[in-house]
Amino acid sequence: MKPLCDDDELAALGLDRDALGPIEGLIKGPSEADEPTLAAPRSDSGRTGSAEEELDTLLDDVHADVDELGKSDDVAELITKEVEITRNIIESQYELARLEVAKRMRVRRRGDGFANAAKATIVWIASEVLDAIGLRAASKGWNTLRLAAADTVTFHIHSLPLRDLSVDQRFRPWRRRAALAAYLSRLRSAMSKRMEGVEHWDLSLPAKSRHVIATTDRSPLALLELDGWNVRVQAIYPWPAPATRQWIQDSGDTALASLVSERLPGGRWVELAVAGMLARLQMPSSGKQARDRLATLRAGGGVQPSVAIYSWMRSLSAVQRHLMEQHARAQASKLADRLRSFSGWMTAEADLSDPWSRLCHERDDLEGILVLLQECGGGRHLQSTLRDVDKCGRSVRFSLSANTTAVDERLRRVALCYPSAWWGSTGYHVQLV
Amino acid sequence: VRLAEALARLAPPAAAQDEQEAEIRKQALEIVYGALQKIARRVVVDPDLAEDIACEVAVCLVDGGRRDRRSLPATDSRAEAYLCVAVRNHEIDYWRKTRRHVDVADIPEPGIEPDFSLVETDPAETDALLVNARTLLYERAVPEIAANGNGRGDPLGFELAVTEIRELYHGRTTVEEILVKSDGRCSSSGRNRLYKRHQRVRERLLAELPVWLDRARLPERLDTTVRSLANVELAPRVDRRDR
């Protein structure tokens, strides 16, 4: 997908490309056409077409295959579920939120008539990015966006200059970065709006416009792009880049270093997850090394890079750590939903090793972030969200069939470090009850 | 400081925010390491290996273990069982690394092992504890959980499913035998139906058994043994394949 900001604009905002998260494509209302199309979602892989149509076609094909093979209804149901959940797990970024809104709009259109409904009703936009930063957005019509926030959170919205949204070539009125910075600065003072102490805020925004949602101290949180009824939201991870490469070098654990190096470069979020892995999953390679390390710990010493990673976490501002936690909570909620789907999809003989391993890795990423936050005295909200995830995860692991295994190096380390981790390797005992 | 509390305090002392916290972490490490040494000596035959494993587990728990009380064992007895699982896992890991046990079947199956206690106990006492725990789990906890379904499901069906799961664990029956008895034949759809039924029962047990145990206020060791029993006998077997 085309990014919401170019490099010059990011630099002017004090950001780099790694600080940008995935883009969410949403719909804030019907399309401009009189007969609204349900969705034209485009996944990151560049596929186009309605996700609903695609799923219908997929399921029709499956049913046709099942009929041809003369399988029973039970088997058909299982295969159907399998297809559905594979799609959910593998293509989780497939703009389901957008579909959800589109479905709601369709229901409304069937009722009172679309035009009236669009004017009279508020359609909430399901956005994980906005959820993570504590905002909810709703459409109140063609050019009005309603934003609602928890009363403890305050926001600024800065408008960015419009670029040509219809073609790939971006419209750049500036040749020099200084000119852009001056332009943005002027925009900030003239157009920035402050949301404080109000339950919701109705913004009249041009149908085609771009905005930066920021904290009151101007720390950017998300990018918002409006193009008619289409809304694109991109998360910003506004903490500085961790010294991941250095920490990998400092780690004497070559197997772990190799594991985490495979994930880099991957953007700020992945770097954070990697920091969590490096801090938690180092293991002594021999009995002698274990004895030496324990002696160091008992003497009050530390093992690198864990100590450096925790120091880096403490160097971040409270706002940055709060946002880190919020983004992690959004991921945790998504993971809980996927675990519930996975649970419904399990069968006696299906080999679900790959999707199960992916879910375990995602859970472990969140565990790493939780431990980093806990070292700074935080993480309570994330911990509470993870309790729901773990309830579901434990239940799935308690019933996992023998054909589904997760035995890679990372999960082996998890099982050895935390005997109650449902997401650890299936090759070891786990204490679930 | 008790063992359960020490477990939640484990973290690298050098990363602590202040001197006081560093000291607390060091004390917690001493308590947990002491317990690990005793457990490892009991579980692992070779004394040198037992010491290596105790050190390795302690290091792993300091770096990667959980740090909040609610996610960790609530009582000392359960904390001992938790450390016992950790020691056994590290022992399995050692076997795999050294390839002393070429055949997976040589690795012992997970046992209930109620003898996780740090104090020496009479074997007869341990056996009696296990018998008592079995009676409590299957003759009191399961029927009471089945009866308190608030209209959900069929209590007799729930108890039957628990019996089936238990019999399957002990190898006293097979999925095929259960299906032939109930459906008259063994089919793929029947196998999946049975699996789903057992899954629902396990989900309910996992949610309701800890609540039942908290209400029952059993002596610590008995409580832990019932939990370990359920953990081993009612979950599918641990997959020990080393891919």
Share of chain A above pLDDT 70, in %: 63
pLDDT at A222 over 60: yes
Nearest CA in chain B to A374: B67
- pLDDT tens across A392-425, in order? 999 999 888 888 888 899 999 999 999 999 999 9
Per-residue pLDDT at B135: 94
Per-position b or e across A100-138, b if 16+ CB within 10 A of its CB: bbbeebbebbeeeebeebbeebebbbbbbbbbbbbbbbb
CA distance B231 to B224: 10
CA B172 – CA B195 distance, rounded (Å): 17
Phi/psi at A406 (5° precision):
-145, 100
The first and second tokens of residue A70, run together, are: 């003369």
What is residue B26's predicted lDDT score, i.e. its pLDDT? Answer: 94
What are the tens digits of pLDDT across the range A100-123? 444 444 444 444 333 444 444 566
Non-local (6+) Cβ contacts of A237 within 8 A are: A19, A20, A21, A267, A268, A269, A272, A323, A324, A327
Edge-to-edge strands, sheet with A123-125: A123-125, A135-139, A144-149, A200-204
Pair A239, A233: CB distance under 8 Å: no
Contact in structure between A199 and A148 (CB atoms under 8 Å)? yes
Does A73 have pLDDT greater than 50?
A: yes
In angstroms, rounded to a whole number, what is the distance separating the alpha carbons of residues A415 and A148? 42
Biggest distance spanned by C-alpha atoms of chain B:
70
Instruction: Measure Cα distances from A168 to A95, A163, A171 in Å.
Output: 21, 10, 9
Residue B68 burial (10 A CB sphere; 0-12, 13-18, 19+): middle
Residue A294 to residues A53, A283, A291, B12, B65: CA-CA distances in angstroms? 58, 11, 5, 10, 15
Could you give the CA distance from residue B231 to residue A433 in angstroms, rounded to a whole number? 6
pLDDT in tens, B91-121: 888 888 886 554 545 555 555 555 565 566 7
B48, B70, B191 member nearest A348 (Cβ): B191
pLDDT for the residue numbered A8: 78
pLDDT at A196 over 50: no
Work out the pLDDT band at A275, boundaries 50, 70, 90: very high
Which residues in chain B touch residue A308, judged by CB atoms under 8 angstroms apart? none
Q: Residue type for A294, please?
A: L
Q: What is the pLDDT of residue A147?
A: 75
Q: Is A70 on the interface with B (CB under 8 A)?
A: no
If pLDDT is split at 50, 70 and 90, which confidence band does B208 have?
very high
- Identify the pLDDT of residue A48: 38
For residue A77, give both structure tokens: 């149901």
> Quick one: DSSP state of residue A173?
-
Q: What is the pLDDT of residue A176?
A: 43
Cβ separation A287–B191 shorter than 8 A:
no
R_g of chain A computed on alpha carbons:
24
Verify cis geometry, omega within 30 degrees of 0, for the bond prior to A265: yes
Are B102 and B84 in contact by the 8 Å Cβ rule? The answer is no
Residues A351-393 have pLDDT tens digits of 889 999 999 999 999 999 999 999 888 899 999 999 999 999 9
Task: Report the alpha-carbon angle B3-B4-B5, nearest 5.
Answer: 90
Question: Bigger pLDDT: A178 or A270?
Answer: A270
Say if residue B25's pLDDT is above 90.
yes
Check if the beta carbon of residue A218 is closer than 8 Å to that of residue A225. Answer: no
| Chain B residues inside the 8 Å CB shell of A394 | 206
Q: Is the pLDDT of residue A314 over 50?
A: yes
Distance CA A408, CA A49 (A): 36
Tens digit of each residue's pLDDT (9 = 90 or more) over B167-190: 988 888 999 999 999 989 888 889
Residue B70 confidence (pLDDT): 84
pLDDT of residue A81: 56
Mean pLDDT of A136-151: 69
Beta bridge partners of A148: A136, A200
CB within 8 Å of chain A, chain B residues 100-159:
110
pLDDT over 70 at A153, yes or no: no
pLDDT at B69: 83
Q: Residue A164 has which token pair?
A: 């040509």
In the structure, what pLDDT confidence band is assigned to residue A197 with cuts at 50, 70 and 90? very low
Q: Residue A292 has what pLDDT?
A: 93
Start-to-end CA distance of chain A, whole Å, equals 45
Tell me the pLDDT of chain A averaged across its residues. Answer: 72
Q: Using H for helix, E for strand and C for coil, what is the string for B169-198? A: HCCCCCHHHHHHHHHCCCCHHHHHHHHHHH
Please give the residue that has the higher pLDDT: either A161 or A291. A291
What average pLDDT does range A19-35 have in this prediction?
Answer: 63
Q: Which of B69, B198, B206, B239 to probe by mutation at the A interface, max A CB count within 10 Å?
A: B239
- CA B241, chain centre distance (Å): 19
Range A315-321 average pLDDT = 88
Chain B residue numbers with beta carbons less than 8 Å from the beta carbon of A398 are 202-203, 206, 234-235
Contact flag A417-B60 (C-beta cutoff 8 Å): yes
Q: What's the rounded Cα separation, in Å, for the pair A12 and A125?
A: 29
Q: Do A281 and A256 form a contact (C-beta atoms < 8 A)?
A: yes
Q: Which residues of A touch B74 (CB under 8 A)?
A: none
**Would an 8 Å CB–CB cutoff place B189 in contact with chain A?**
yes
pLDDT at A220 over 90: no
Q: What is the pLDDT of residue A75?
A: 53
- Average pLDDT of the residues in A3-23: 82
Q: How confident is the model at residue B161 (pLDDT cuts 50, 70, 90)?
A: very high
How high is the pLDDT of residue A280?
A: 92
* Confidence class for position A219, pLDDT limits 50, 70, 90: confident
B13 touches chain A (CB under 8 A): yes
- pLDDT at residue A96 greater than cutoff 60: no
pLDDT tens digits for A41-64? Answer: 333 333 334 444 544 555 555 555
pLDDT of residue A186: 45
- Amino acid A251: pLDDT: 85
Residue A423's pLDDT is 95
Residues facing residue A193 across a β-bridge: A157
- Looking at the predicted structure, is the pLDDT value of residue A350 above 50? yes
Of B49, B57, B64, the CB nearest to A280: B64
Model pLDDT, residue B86: 93
Position A230 scores a pLDDT of 78
